[in-house]
Amino acid sequence: MVNRPLPVELLAPARDADTGIAAINAGADAVYIGAARFGAREAAGNPLEDIERLIAYAHRYWARVYVTVNTLLYDEELDEARSLIWKLYEIGADALIIQDIGLLELDLPPLALFASTQMHNHTPERVRFLEQAGFSRVILARELTLEQIRQIRAQTSIELEGFIHGALCVSYSGQCYLSYALGGRSGNRGQCAQPCRRLYSLYGADGQAVVQNRYLLSLKDLNLSDHLQDLLEAGITSFKIEGRLKDRAYVMNVVAAYRQRLDALLDGERFRKASSGDSRVDFSPDLRKTFNRGFTTYFLKGRDPQMASPFTPKSVGEPLGKVVKVWKDGCVLEDGAPEVHAGDGICYLDGDNVLQGTVVLKVQGNRLWLEKMEGLQRGALMFRNHDRLFLQQLEKSRTERKIAVQFTLREDPQGMLLRAEDEDGNFAESVWHGKITPALNPDRMLETFQRQISSLGGTEFTCGGIRVLLATVPFLPVQAINSLRREVVERLRAERLRNFPRMARQRAEDGVRFPAERLSFEGNVLNRLARQFYLRHGVREIESAAEAGLDMRGRKVMTTRFCLRYQLGACPKQKNPVRLPEPLYLEDELGNRLSLRFRCAECVMEIYYEGNARVKEVSDDILYRKGK
């Protein structure tokens, strides 16, 4: 049996159809996009006609479009969700990314199902269950190590998708209820208010502040660009870029950067690209030059001690180096700093570690004249978070993607035949019917054949070569050659669409038991069909999801491998740990109080919502004035 190379997919986000098309042109093998409703990014929904336009474009390159319907659903929404999914199937969507397990109880079309990372896919047992339940792919939890990914791969055969770039949720995905607890906006309903990017103060048992006014739950962005080979070897075959709210420039830059790195690893023997064509990028991609909070590898090869971004939740961009001199109108950067231009946006931390931003007015070597200089000090590390020239280049980019086609011109009993065969082995033929007469100038006629056949204009094809198999070079009018070319290209396009490799819905196995008999509210069971599904698979006790209206005071609202003890040097496993006045709690600017608990054996921090301290003070004051 011949082992065929595994298709490896670079998967990009699409906030809308145009961003998705830009991602495909830059080299994405697939894109994921939100439907008009029920997506985990409520602000990134798209109408069916736009998704259909994106699908039509993607399928030209044998690229795929996955649609997110990955929120928890109320009972009254199930029929609407079913109807939406059937419409997505009818317009040609390749797969559906879902979180709510109740959807499996519906009469769904034969669309491939992907288990969203919101389903907390973090153990071999959970992943194996999803494989047996009928999913085609599992999107793994972001916080997994390479070794954990290897263990999942060793015990399952389902496709594994992993995040490689973009924003990180500090909580286990699908297990964060903080936004819902604080303001009723549920991340599992696509409405996260991002409370992890807020300012917090950390207090000890004595009520004294340990840390004040810092972004204590904010993380840097994931960047695994140097670890793609490791991920391939561990079993990942879909490499996912986060960012369905990101703009076209970000998506183009990040996709192009990862396309170049991934292509260098695809040998054609073990691994191959999952789609067709090569991207022609007219800029030099640089991951530092579009939105980022600084980069981390998170837990891929063990805990990254620099994963936190406590001083800002905003983009800092590209490091420029240290400030070596400050004067009233600007500063001087250290030698070796990247070239800066007037109009660039730069930022830095002032003496109080507060992020400040300004615009460059004038540049002379390493000397920068700045619009404002609030808190700028010698020794500050400068960043560029708006590279004017780079972003202009991306805006004007005419990046395109082309599929190589080999043409053969030969005689036919009915006239002259032109054959076109693409890089995937699809072919089409077209015949010019007419009397063949020898060309008076064979060399010039051959040049005309080459020029006109290779003139593929604005199509998705490019000429990879032309073979002319003729005993005698015939004369053909230019119009006839052009007609042959146009016809064979249209037939080849139709043949490619006919042979497009569709994804199949996996058949669910009978009698599969879920790897737990009890589900707390963290099981995210919000509707009757989800409850029905789990009961059918051996779960005996089911608590309703938080979004059913649970009072979250006193409940766990986040579980995370990020640990504030570790960040502050107080982890018992660290050498000479700092002693903190525990128990610890966080309080945000609005007075919301979160208590911290640590499961050190598992290196996990849990956060519990204790209510709003200021609301309690107001309530107590009212009771006192009423004489109670």
Averaged pLDDT for residues 424-445 = 93
Q: What is the pLDDT of residues 371-394, one digit of tens each?
A: 999 999 999 999 999 999 999 999
Number of domains into which the chain is organized: 3
Q: Tell me the pLDDT band of 112, cut-offs 50, 70 and 90.
A: very high
Domain assignment present for 242: yes
Residue 613: pLDDT over 80: no
CB 577 within 8 A of CB 571: yes
Q: What is the pLDDT of residues 275-313, one digit of tens each?
A: 999 999 999 999 999 999 999 999 999 999 999 999 999
Write down the pLDDT at residue 621.
41
Residue 628: pLDDT over 70: no
Write down the pLDDT at residue 38.
87
Structure tokens at 391: 């972003």
Three-state DSSP state, 616 = helix
Q: Tell me the pLDDT band of 4, cut-offs 50, 70 and 90.
A: confident
Domain boundary among 456, 481, 498: 498
Helices 48-60 and 478-498: crossing angle in degrees, nearest 10, is 110
Q: What is the pLDDT of residues 520-562, one digit of tens each?
A: 999 999 999 999 999 999 999 999 999 999 999 999 999 999 9
Q: Could you tell me if 49 and 155 lie in one domain?
A: yes
Domain assignment present for 147: yes
Q: Could you tell me if 233 and 257 lie in one domain?
A: yes
Q: Could you tell me if 448 and 336 lie in one domain?
A: no
Integer Cα distance of 490 and 250 in angstroms: 33
Write down the pLDDT at residue 616.
53
Read off the pTM. 0.95
Q: Could you tell me if 392 and 462 lie in one domain?
A: no
Q: Residue 342: which domain range?
A: 316-396
Write down the pLDDT at residue 86.
98
Residue 25: pLDDT over 90: yes
C-alpha distance from residue 232 to each of 158, 226, 247, 265, 478 (Å): 15, 12, 28, 9, 49
Q: What is the pLDDT of residues 474-498, one digit of tens each?
A: 999 999 999 999 999 999 999 999 9
User: What CATH code is carried by the domain that includes residue 337?
Assistant: 2.40.30
Write down the pLDDT at residue 435.
80
Write down the pLDDT at residue 625.
38
Domain assignment present for 534: no
Share of the chain above pLDDT 90, in %: 91
Structure tokens at 397: 């980019």
Q: Could you tell me if 378 and 419 lie in one domain?
A: no
Q: Could you tell me if 390 and 431 lie in one domain?
A: no
Q: Tell me the pLDDT band of 39, cut-offs 50, 70 and 90.
A: confident
Domain assignment present for 469: yes
Share of the chain above pLDDT 70, in %: 97
Q: Could you tell me if 272 and 322 lie in one domain?
A: no
Write down the pLDDT at residue 44.
73
Q: Could you tell me if 245 and 376 lie in one domain?
A: no
For residue 69, which of 43, 39, 32 has the smallest C-alpha distance?
39
Averaged pLDDT for residues 5-11 = 97
Write down the pLDDT at residue 615.
65
Strands (E), 365-426: 367-370, 381-386, 400-412, 415-422
Q: What is the pLDDT of residues 175-221, one digit of tens each?
A: 999 999 999 999 999 999 999 999 999 999 999 999 999 999 999 99
Q: Rg (Cα) of the chain, in Å, rounded?
A: 29
Averaged pLDDT for residues 41-57 = 90
Q: What is the pLDDT of residues 574-592, one digit of tens each?
A: 999 999 999 999 999 999 9
Structure tokens at 33: 């996009």
Domain assignment present for 257: yes
For residue 221, which of 314, 141, 86, 94 has the smallest C-alpha distance?
314
Averaged pLDDT for residues 397-419 = 94
Q: Tell me the pLDDT band of 614, cut-offs 50, 70 and 90.
A: confident
